Amino acid sequence: MPHHTPAPSPTPGKVHLVGAGPGAADLLTLRAARLIGAADVIVYDKLVGPDILALARKDAEFIYAGKQAGNHTLPQPDINRLLVTLALAGKNVVRLKGGDPFVFARGGEEIAELAGAGIAFEVVPGITAATGAAAFAGIPLTHREHAQALVFVTGHVKDGTCSLDWPALVRPGQTVVIYMGLGALPSISRHLVEAGMAPDMPAACVQDATLPSQVTITGGIAELPDKVIAAGITSPALLIIGSVVSLRDALQWFEGAAPH
C-alpha cells in the first residue's frame, strides 16, 4: 500500500526481523507475536497471512513488500532502504517474513543495510517452510533408516535456468528440500534423473503448508511434474525428495483430519 517518507527523528527506532513461520498463525513464536503486537510499522511479505497481521495494533501502519515470480512490489534494495528510513524516523519496525528470516529470505541482506546505517536490529527466527511442510505432511526429514543428511536448496529460476549441484543432490542417505522450485519442477526432475537419481525416488510437493488448504502430491521424481500439473498445484509449494517420503502413507495426520 502507499506510504509516505517519514521525517528523521532525534531518537532512531529499531527494526525487528521476524520470522512469520510457514503459514498457520499459531505456529508463531511467542516473541514474534509480542513484537508484532507492539510495532508502529509492519513491513510484510506475500506469504504472511491475515491471521498473523491481525495481531498488530489497530493504529499500526502496514507496508506490503511481497514478491512473486516476475512481480516485485518493492525491489530488494528499496526494501533495505525503507527499513533504514523508518528506523531513522524513530519507528518501532517489524519486518515480517514468511518462514525464517535467514532461510532463502534475504534477511542477511536487510540487516547488513541496517548495520551499515548504525540502526539497532534484532532477528527472531521462525519455523521455516521445510520443517513446517514436512511435519504437516507426515514426512520426517531425517530418519535413521532413510536419511542421515538434510539439504536445503532453492530452485528459483533465473534467466530461464535452474542451476544446482545435481550430483551432490543425488547422494544416498539424504533428504533434499527445494524451496521455490515449483516452476522449475520439470527441469529439476530431469536433471536429477540424468545425474543418477532413480526415477522412482519418492518425492512430494506440498502446497499451502500448515493451512487448512494444504495439499500434498507424492510420486516418483520422474512422474511428479505431471502429477503436480494434473492436480493444479500452485505456489506457495515446497518439494521434498528422498526415501523418507515413502513414510507419508503411514504417518500423515493433518490433511483430511478434523479442524485443529
Active site residues: 45, 67
Within 8 A by CB and 6+ apart from 165, the residues are none
What angle in degrees, to the nearest 10, is found between the helix axes of 107-116 and 76-88? 40
Within 8 A by CB and 6+ apart from 153, the residues are 164, 169, 176, 177, 178, 179
5 exposure class (CB count in 10 Å sphere: 0-12, 13-18, 19+): exposed
Q: Judge contact between 154 and 178, C-beta under 8 A.
A: yes
Residue with cell string 521462525? 126
**Cα 2 versus chain centre, distance:** 25
For residue 214, CA distances in Å to 75, 174, 211, 237 come to 29, 25, 5, 9
